[in-house]
């Protein structure tokens, strides 16, 4: 009588071949499903080179986590000074950007970038309801946003601000942020160079 070799039994090998085949198919489906569902959300993160999650900012819109944390700080400081930064648009999925771009192309909506070209898809652009450049909200952002890493990037859109901390310089101590799209008001009379008499 032969003795059986003392190998550890492998459960999978004892299954009937059909069951093994179905197990593999099921396993592949389980592995593939989250990838398929995550595709829309993954697209912007892939482009920005980081898979950072999205966080909500006051108003309910979402931004990429680092931009959202910076915006929350900025919002709190503005609020302390009596200014409300009302966010009307933050992160957009590719489908949302495509929809807005189609509306724009048909003349039914405001200017919108081609899908894949908007930093709203990366979660680093935010549209703030500022009215025009003479509003309190715009004035506050113009003077302070750079300290939080935000700046304007589109001349015709005073509401559109982007989080670009690496390329947004801090103001000189005691000075407001420079606003590249709005000329500074004339210097007050007392500090103006006196004209030769
Ligand atoms: Zn925008």
Q: How far apart are CA 133 and CA 181, in angstroms?
A: 10
In the chain, the domains with their CATH numbers are 16-184 (3.30.1380.10)
* pLDDT at site 7: 52
Is 62 strand, coil or helix? Answer: strand
* All residues at 6 or more sequence positions from 117 whose CB lies less than 8 Å from its CB, including other chains: none
The H or E element containing residue 150 is strand 150-152
pLDDT value at residue 41: 45
Residue pair 158/98 in contact (Cβ under 8 Å)? The answer is no
Distance (Å) from CA 149 to ligand 1 centroid: 16
- Please tell me the predicted confidence (pLDDT) of residue 56: 96
Question: In angstroms, what CA-CA distances link 178 with 43, 54, 81, 108, 146?
Answer: 33, 29, 20, 34, 8
What is the structure's pLDDT at 34?
43
Rounded to 10 deg, the angle between the 136-144 and 65-80 helix axes is 120
CA of 173 to the centre of ligand 1 (A): 30
CA 169 to ligand 1 centroid distance, Å: 21
Distance from residue 112's CA to the centre of ligand 1 (Å): 8
- Read off the pLDDT of residues 124-171 as tens digits, 9 standing for 90 and up: 999 999 988 899 999 999 999 999 999 999 998 999 999 999 999 899
For ligand 1, the distance from its centroid to the CA atom of residue 74, given in whole angstroms, is 18
Asked if 144 and 78 touch (Cβ cutoff 8 Å), the reply is yes
The C-alpha atoms of residue 44 and residue 150 are separated, in whole angstroms, by 19
Segments of the chain scoring below 50 in pLDDT? 13, 25-27, 29-31, 33-50, 191-194, 196-197
Q: Using CA atoms, how far apart are residues 154 and 151, in angstroms rounded to an integer?
A: 10
Output the CA 172–ligand 1 centroid distance in Å. 28
**pLDDT value at position 110?**
87
For residue 169 the two structure tokens come to 């310089």
Give residue 157 CA to ligand 1 midpoint distance, Å. 8
Ligand 1 geometric centre to CA of 119 (Å): 8
Rg (CA), the chain: 27
Q: pLDDT value at position 83?
A: 96
């Amino acid at each position: 009588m032969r003795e059986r070799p003392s190998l550890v039994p492998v459960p999978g090998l004892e299954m009937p071949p059909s069951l093994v085949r179905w197990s593999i198919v099921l396993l592949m489906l389980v592995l593939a499903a989250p990838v398929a569902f995550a595709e829309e959300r993954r697209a912007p993160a892939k482009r920005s080179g980081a898979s950072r999650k999205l966080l909500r900012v006051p108003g309910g819109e979402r931004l990429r986590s680092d931009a959202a944390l910076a915006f929350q700080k900025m919002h709190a400081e503005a609020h302390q000074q009596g200014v409300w930064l009302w966010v009307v648009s933050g992160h957009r999925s590719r489908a949302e950007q495509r929809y807005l771009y189609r509306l724009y192309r048909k003349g039914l909506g405001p200017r919108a970038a081609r899908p894949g070209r908007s930093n709203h898809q990366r979660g680093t652009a935010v549209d703030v309801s500022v009215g025009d450049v003479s509003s309190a909200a715009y004035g506050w952002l113009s003077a302070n946003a750079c300290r939080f890493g935000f700046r304007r990037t589109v001349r015709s859109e005073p509401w559109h601000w982007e989080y670009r901390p690496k390329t947004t310089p801090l103001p000189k101590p005691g000075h407001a942020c420079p606003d590249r799209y709005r000329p500074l008001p004339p210097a007050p009379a007392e500090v103006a160079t006196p004209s030769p008499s």
